Structure 1
Amino acid sequence: MTLLPFVDTPAQGPCKAVVVWLHGLGDSGHGFAPIVPELRLPSDAGIRFIFPHAPVQPVTINGGMEMRSWYDIKSMDLLSRADEAGVRDSAAKVQQLLDQLIAQGMPSERIVLAGFSQGGVIALHLLARLPYKLAGVMALSTYMCAPEKLSDEALPYNKATPVFIGHGVQDPVVPMAGGQQAFHALKKQGFAVSWHDYRMEHSVSAQEVADISSFLQRLLLTDKDK
């Protein structure tokens, strides 16, 4: 399996942690890269950001047009929106990237996995199925693929891992009910999820950026860094 290409924003100074951030449908790793300075993290935080590019593939709801996509979407109905085989394939590709970071010396508990929309689906899928513990997971404006399989497939490693779920109350692309369903499914299985909603559509607001910054600093900064 070829490693996913990505946009790499190195840490300032020694690298102490990594955030892997997955984009949404039709975007690329370049789409979220500009958020790094907006997070206003301390210059000595030592956080590297990696923004992988999804594979290019046909997307059914867009007339079969080829674009960067973590999986095909055949229907806008939330229950059948995510192509499960495609989700599992992309999740394996992202896990390969995480595995490589760990092999290169980054402890898994110093890695945060984040995803927006389609990317969030992959992040939540991996949260429950990775064979090692992460520092945290952020799932933004997203939903869950095959929530009915969570109880059978969930592994224990990330049950205590902080999970930030953020959603816009006016989201016309992924209705907030989809995010709430993911939140409740994870909570029922004992995951450490927190819910955050914002007055926005299918996007990231200034308040959410501030909350994400606080979340990352809480997870990744030691007392010496603060």
Structure 2
Amino acid sequence: MLNTKKKGLPLDQAKKALIMIHGRGATADSILSLSSHLNLTDYAIVAPQANGNTWYPYGFMASDEGNHASLERSLGFIEEVFSEILDAGILPEQICLVGFSQGACLSLEFAARNARRLGGVAAFTGGLIGEQLNPEKYQGDFLGTPIFIGSSKQDFHVPASRIQESAVLLEKMGAEVTVKLFDDSEHTIRAEEIKLANQKIFI
């Protein structure tokens, strides 16, 4: 059974929804704490909790075989949450995804494998998942969906080169992508990133 935490309006009373995906070793509660810094008036907010606090065991650019089973299961969890929101009558273009680190990677991966017009994706330190990027994994058209990716130019876990590669692929799929890379080496969510996410997505 998928474990989720919820905040904001009940799904049956909301017209917009946000799926928040935590990072490795973190919790649904920890990513929900970010919601108070985003412009989320009238949103239903759902944060799934990963089994063992991790969505897949190895780094996001590790061997595809090593991560495959856990990654597919985790993508299925996000699909369950997305379907629950749709069943409540909320349109795809009113659904956003936000994630940090491993959760940012999972947010982008889920969106790209199921591309359609969404409310937006904010990926705080993340890129598309895989040993190499394989465009054949991804299908659909984002139809102008805004996607924001913020990170350090020298993040230990997420190379800037993979972020840029991901942005190019997402743009080819019809997304309006904004990338902002910072000079510091912190693995964190910066106030400026939150401001940009609010400007680009949570308007």
**TM-score, structure 1 as length reference:** 0.77
Give the distance between the partners of 1:191 and 1:85, measured in 2 at CA: 28
Consecutive unaligned residues of structure 1, counting only runs of 5 or more, are 57-67, 219-226
Please report how far the alpha carbon of residue 184 of structure 1 lies from its aligned counterpart in structure 2 after TM superposition: 2.5
Aligned to 1:221: none
Distance 1:185 1:157, change over 3 A: closer
Consecutive unaligned residues of structure 2, counting only runs of 5 or more, are none
User: What is the letter of the counterpart of residue 35 of structure 1?
Assistant: L
Aligned to 2:3: 5
Distance 1:168 1:101, change over 3 A: same
- 8 Å contact from structure 2 (residues 20, 46) kept in 1: yes
* Higher Cα radius of gyration: 1
Distance 1:129 1:173, change over 3 A: closer
Which digits, 9 at most, give the CA deviation of each residue in 1:73-98, with x for residues without a partner?
Answer: 0xx58353771332222111101110
Distance 1:83 1:159, change over 3 A: farther
- 8 Å contact from structure 2 (residues 121, 201) kept in 1: no
Which digits, 9 at most, give the CA deviation of each residue in 1:198-223, with x for residues without a partner?
Answer: 344110011111112222333xxxxx
Which digits, 9 at most, give the CA deviation of each residue in 1:159-218, with x for residues without a partner?
Answer: 421111111224223232232222223234443322112344110011111112222333
Answering whether residue 37 of structure 2 is matched by residue 38 of structure 1, we say yes
Please report how far the alpha carbon of residue 139 of structure 1 lies from its aligned counterpart in structure 2 after TM superposition: 1.6
Aligned to 1:111: 95
User: What is the letter of the counterpart of residue 17 of structure 2?
Assistant: V
User: What is the letter of the counterpart of residue 94 of structure 1?
Assistant: I
User: What is the letter of the counterpart of residue 117 of structure 1?
Assistant: S
Please report how far the alpha carbon of residue 99 of structure 1 lies from its aligned counterpart in structure 2 after TM superposition: 0.4
How many percent identity over aligned positions?
24
Answering whether residue 138 of structure 2 is matched by residue 154 of structure 1, we say yes
Please report how far the alpha carbon of residue 110 of structure 1 lies from its aligned counterpart in structure 2 after TM superposition: 0.7
SS in structure 2 at match of 1:167: strand
Give the distance between the partners of 1:175 and 1:101, measured in 2 at CA: 33
- 8 Å contact from structure 1 (residues 137, 163) kept in 2: yes
Bigger fraction of residues in helix: 2
Q: How many residues align?
A: 198
- 8 Å contact from structure 2 (residues 96, 118) kept in 1: yes
Runs of 4+ with >6 A deviation = none
Give the distance between the partners of 1:77 and 1:91, measured in 2 at CA: 14
Aligned to 1:16: 15
Answering whether residue 164 of structure 2 is matched by residue 165 of structure 1, we say no
Question: Aligned-pair RMSD on alpha carbons?
Answer: 2.4
SS in structure 2 at match of 1:138: strand
Aligned to 1:80: 63
User: What is the letter of the counterpart of residue 18 of structure 2?
Assistant: V
Distance 1:214 1:197, change over 3 A: same
Aligned to 1:192: 176
**TM-score, structure 2 as length reference:** 0.85
SS in structure 1 at match of 2:32: coil
* Alignment match of 2:197 (pick from 199, 203, 212): 212
Give the distance between the partners of 2:25 and 2:143, measured in 1 at CA: 31
* Alignment match of 1:69 (pick from 54, 75, 81): 54
Aligned 1:134-145 pairs, distance under 5 A: 134-145=118-129
Please report how far the alpha carbon of residue 19 of structure 1 lies from its aligned counterpart in structure 2 after TM superposition: 0.9
